[in-house]
């Protein structure tokens, strides 16, 4: 996404705890914000994903844990791998796949960006090189590309993804019908070369992608994908808007009877958004990941670790090595969530959000914040809070009533 950005738990008893809290906050005016069928599975470390492009020499492997790595803006698209017909260059992708194996992460490889020699419109402008947004003239060239890559990396690449933000003209200028045809060809080729690999559907982005999502569903694109991909960008705006966008996406999927996993394969924050402090930016990261998970999203790929040119929320300092406070919060949230069950999140009339948590040992937790400022919370739970942590995992004074919360999430726990 570099080029485009440059330019332009629920368990018995805890349900009752949540209800009691909501009543104490607002009587009967709270709204539950979650997928109608939220996952009751513990959060996996694979939920926490990252983009690392290694496009700046010297970028070391990130100093925070993550379980899924998407190779976008990593110079390993079709145009990079086959710059001339039949002339393959796998050296960079080989090295990145080896790095992923070394660090035990699932790799997502987007299948995207047509090389000029194969393009239906080779001189057409795109966000990348000329012709890259157009479909290939010959679908057999596409099939050969996918087949060749999937065979070479059998057992090494866990997931492939169809295109990138295909509702955006700088990324795709073909038709919905062509998307479906190319995705079906890719699905068949991958199944043939590596039956264990999975294909993520043609991903779309922002609320602007909803009309194309509707059309692709009408055309049956869901039948040639194992996972539904979407980019839940809501900038400029607050991360809580992810819940609204996720609801719109899942509503359309449900209308077509689609029960496949929904992944957020790319989200970050972009200009003109600005943050008054790293703590404010860190709060956005934590809230985005919480709201997305509670909305039924199974994986979340953050954009991007080593990017300072075209995003407004930085994970690292300028050296692309030293974690900034948002990265520390990203790592701390994993200690809260991984292995635990995150249940519904709710927002009350005062804009205070609450997310229920059940840890692997059966203890309860409750995450609270208010994106609009400070608010007092008089919690009434069926369990007794004994600890309060900030979003970096630091212990705070023993909780008392009422608790004052703000835009930085805190967690009450047993």
- What b-and-e string marks burial along 119-136, b requiring 16 or more CB atoms within 10 Å of the CB? bebbeeebbbbebbbbbb
pLDDT of residue 133: 98
Separation CA 248–CA 1 (nearest Å)? 23
DSSP 245-273: HHHHHHHHHHHTT--S-EEEEEE---TT-
- What b-and-e string marks burial along 14-38, b requiring 16 or more CB atoms within 10 Å of the CB? beebbeebbebbbeeebebbbbeeb
142 CB contacts (<8 Å, ≥6 apart)?
A: 118, 136, 182, 185, 186
- Say which residue the tokens 């520390």 belong to: 328
- Burial (CB count <10 Å: 0-12, 13-18, 19+), residue 218: exposed
Helix/strand/coil for 234: coil
pLDDT of residue 380: 77
Q: What is the pTM of this model?
A: 0.91
User: What is the DSSP-derived secondary structure letter of residue 45?
Assistant: G
Q: What is the dihedral of CA 125, 126, 131, 133, to 10 degrees?
A: -140
pLDDT of residue 55: 74
- The residues pairing with 109 across neighbouring beta strands, listed in sequence order, are 160
Assign domain 2-11+40-343 to its CATH architecture: Alpha-Beta Barrel (3.20)
Low-confidence stretches of the chain (pLDDT < 50) are 2-30, 35-37
Instruction: Quickly count: other Cβ atoms within 10 Å of residue 367's Cβ.
Output: 26
pLDDT of residue 26: 29
pLDDT of residue 30: 46
Q: pLDDT for 61-102, tens place per residue?
A: 999 999 999 999 999 999 999 999 999 999 999 999 999 999
pLDDT of residue 34: 52
Q: Where are the domains of the chain?
A: 2-11+40-343
pLDDT of residue 41: 92
pLDDT of residue 22: 32
pLDDT of residue 14: 30
pLDDT of residue 36: 43
Instruction: Give the distance, in angstroms, between the CA of residue 86 and the centroid of all CA atoms in the same chain.
Output: 34
38 CB contacts (<8 Å, ≥6 apart)?
A: 10, 294, 295, 296, 343, 344
pLDDT of residue 354: 96
pLDDT of residue 314: 97
Query: Whose CA is closest to 75, among 60, 89, 59, 62?
Result: 89
């Amino acid at each position: 996404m570099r080029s485009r950005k440059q330019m332009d738990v629920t368990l018995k008893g805890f349900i009752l705890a949540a209800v009691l809290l909501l009543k104490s906050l607002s009587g009967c005016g709270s709204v539950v914000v979650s997928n109608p069928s939220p996952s009751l599975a513990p959060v996996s470390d694979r939920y926490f994903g990252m983009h690392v492009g290694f496009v700046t020499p010297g970028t070391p492997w990130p100093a925070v844990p993550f379980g899924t790595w998407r190779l976008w803006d990593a110079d390993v698209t079709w145009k990079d791998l086959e710059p001339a017909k039949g002339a393959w260059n796998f050296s960079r992708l080989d090295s990145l796949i080896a790095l992923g194996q070394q660090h035990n992460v699932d790799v997502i490889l987007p299948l995207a960006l047509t090389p000029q020699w194969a393009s239906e419109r080779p001189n057409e402008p795109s966000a990348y090189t000329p012709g890259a947004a157009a479909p290939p003239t010959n679908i057999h060239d596409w099939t050969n590309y996918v087949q060749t890559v999937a065979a070479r990396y059998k057992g090494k690449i866990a997931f492939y993804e169809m295109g990138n933000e295909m509702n955006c003209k700088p990324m795709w200028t073909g038709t919905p019908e062509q998307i479906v045809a190319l995705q079906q060809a890719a699905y068949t080729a991958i199944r043939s070369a590596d039956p264990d690999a999975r294909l993520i559907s043609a991903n779309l982005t922002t609320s602007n992608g909803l009309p194309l999502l509707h059309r692709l569903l009408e055309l049956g694109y869901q039948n040639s994908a194992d996972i539904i991909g979407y980019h839940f960008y809501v900038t400029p705006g607050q991360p809580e808007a992810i819940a609204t966008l996720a609801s719109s996406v899942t509503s359309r999927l449900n209308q077509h009877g689609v029960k496949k996993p929904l992944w957020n394969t790319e989200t970050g924050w972009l200009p003109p958004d600005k943050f008054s402090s790293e703590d404010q930016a860190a709060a956005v990261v934590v809230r985005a990941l919480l709201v997305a998970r509670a909305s039924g999203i199974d994986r979340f790929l953050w954009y991007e670790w080593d990017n300072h040119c075209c995003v407004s929320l930085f994970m690292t300092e300028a050296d692309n090595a030293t974690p900034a406070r948002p990265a520390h919060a990203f790592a701390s949230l994993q200690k809260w969530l991984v292995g635990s069950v995150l249940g519904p999140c709710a927002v009350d009339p005062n804009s205070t959000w609450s997310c229920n948590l059940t840890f692997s040992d059966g203890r309860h937790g409750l995450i609270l914040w208010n994106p609009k400022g400070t608010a007092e919370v008089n919690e009434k739970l069926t369990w007794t809070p004994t600890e309060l942590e900030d979003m970096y995992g630091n212990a705070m004074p023993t909780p008392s009533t009422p608790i004052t919360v703000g835009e930085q999430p805190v967690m009450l726990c047993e």
